[in-house]
Structure 1
Amino acid sequence: MSALADEGAEPSLSQTVRALLALREAVLEGALQPGERISEPSMAKRIGLSRTPIRAALMRLEEEGLLDALPTGGYAVRAFTEGDILDAIEIRGVLEGTGARLAAERGASPELLAQARACLAEIDALMAEDRLPGDGFQDYVPLNARFHALLLDLAQSPTLARQMERATAIPFASPSAFVMAQSQLSEARTILTLAQEQHRAVIEAIEHREGARAESLMREHAKLAIRNLRLALENRRALGLVKGASLIRLRPPDS
């Protein structure tokens, strides 16, 4: 295929998805380092795809916040400061708080509430085992992600869901971003117990149509991620379990 044909071609969905997944993984796993320049030709050769799906994937990763567009052309892998991460978590907390308030004010689906309670029961059962803290965190992560997804569904707001997708595309902003790091901390059990208490309290607030309380609980809940972040930054072994940790610009030890 000629270069001109390649420039004008529409990438197939499967090729674009393949390029996006490969590039995102390379960034988050540290194969592409912060500040490293990325060009379409080099990535096309690296992944084995034409430049068209690579271009689409690079544009998407810039939208997600993983890449910065360069004035001279191409992209560079973005680095994140502690402040960047704190802001991302704060934004997620605001959005989740808004979702919880909307769910309470609008009246939540009984079916979704039942699913949320069933998810909490699974977490309770996991916590009753002797694998937390420990390897049980591998099972906790998908349960925690499911619970937070159900909370978003309870809001019945496609607009909010789109904003949440954008916000949590930023590394470290998702509800489970620092959970695996938490597994290495001496405070792990205490933090997990508090998180589950907050999970249960927000469901009760939604059921009782207490919008302000539900919103406040979810905004407070996000602060656990901030606590986990700061503890992980003091524990390099824990930080190594955070996906995308290579993107964090660490402060000097004496700062």
Structure 2
Amino acid sequence: MPRALAPAPAPEENHSQVVKAQLQLREMILAGEMAAGERISELVLAERLGISRTPIRAALMRLEQEGMLEATAGGRGYRVRVLSEADVSDAIELRGTLEGLAARMAAERGAEAPLLARAERCLDAIDRVLDAAGWGDEAFSRYVALNSEFHDILLDMSGSSFMQRELERVKRLPFASPSGFVVARSESPRAHRSLLLAQEQHRAVLEAIEHREGARAEALMKEHSRIARRNLREAMRSPETAGVPGAQLIRAGR
């Protein structure tokens, strides 16, 4: 008798495997396990990750959409993309522009009281992290998590599902997330000063939203993204750049 075929994986299982592969591959690229310009082998990745080639192929397509990979000549595969400093700067500016619009919408439409309270608690937690003695990598990691949370709350305040989808898409671009390229060395005095300035801007943006000052909130968020762009320029010219995850993917200039 012919052997019975195994049941096809459920759609949820397929989706889970694609997401798992996507996250693992992104981490490998940023960790330098795949060199800039290196061609990607679906078969090798499938064996290495223990995942079938179908979700690997879907994950590679998603990473191309994020800008981490590019199709090879003839469209028969992918290679790790080499990003210019200008590419990354443009992605950060795009994120800042959209966040500025989201802040304006939050101010003009009126943010809900529970969201304002959550944002205030988040900023209080950031203050405690920045004021703590013994600033270093552990405190920096805590800051990164809280910073991401605050930016997510601001996005929720906009009340726009369309804006949320677009900003989530932009934040997946290489180094375009709010903490995607902050500083090369988290324990340096310069890094700490930069984060203190960013926190002052957080407070100012929240105040503008509470007072329904849409234009001010938008301008502050656009200015806020310039910190990340400045840090990018400084890090690319620093010998400490090698310590930044994914820095090997970026070349100076255009």
SS at match of 1:151: helix
Matches within 5 A, 1:1-255: 12-72=14-74, 73-132=76-135, 135-181=138-184, 183-237=186-240, 239-250=241-252
Using structure 2 for the length normalisation, give the TM-score. 0.89
SS at match of 1:30: coil
Using structure 1 for the length normalisation, give the TM-score. 0.89
Gaps of 5+ in 1: none
Tell me, in whole angstroms, the C-alpha distance in 2 between the residues paired with 1:150 and 1:69: 35
The residue type paired with residue 35 of structure 1 is G
Aligned residues: 246
SS at match of 2:248: helix
Gaps of 5+ in 2: none
The residue type paired with residue 206 of structure 2 is I
Deviation at 1:92, TM superposition (A): 0.6
Bigger shift: residues 184-193 or 170-179: 184-193
Deviation at 1:164, TM superposition (A): 1.0
**Structure 2 contact 69–79 (Cα < 8 Å) conserved:** yes
CA separation of 1:182/1:110 partners in 2, compared to 1, >3 Å: closer, same or farther? farther
Deviation at 1:240, TM superposition (A): 3.2
Tell me, in whole angstroms, the C-alpha distance in 2 between the residues paired with 1:181 and 1:49: 34
**Structure 1 contact 105–209 (Cα < 8 Å) conserved:** yes
Tell me, in whole angstroms, the C-alpha distance in 2 between the residues paired with 1:205 and 1:133: 31
Deviations 1:222-245 (A, max 9, x none): 0000111122112232x2343221
Deviation at 1:133, TM superposition (A): 5.8
**Structure 2 contact 182–232 (Cα < 8 Å) conserved:** no
Q: Give the alignment's Cα RMSD to 1 decimal.
A: 2.2
CA separation of 1:133/1:39 partners in 2, compared to 1, >3 Å: closer, same or farther? closer
The residue type paired with residue 224 of structure 2 is H
Q: % of aligned pairs identical?
A: 53
Deviation at 1:28, TM superposition (A): 1.4
Tell me, in whole angstroms, the C-alpha distance in 2 between the residues paired with 1:201 and 1:100: 11
Tell me, in whole angstroms, the C-alpha distance in 2 between the residues paired with 1:189 and 1:39: 41
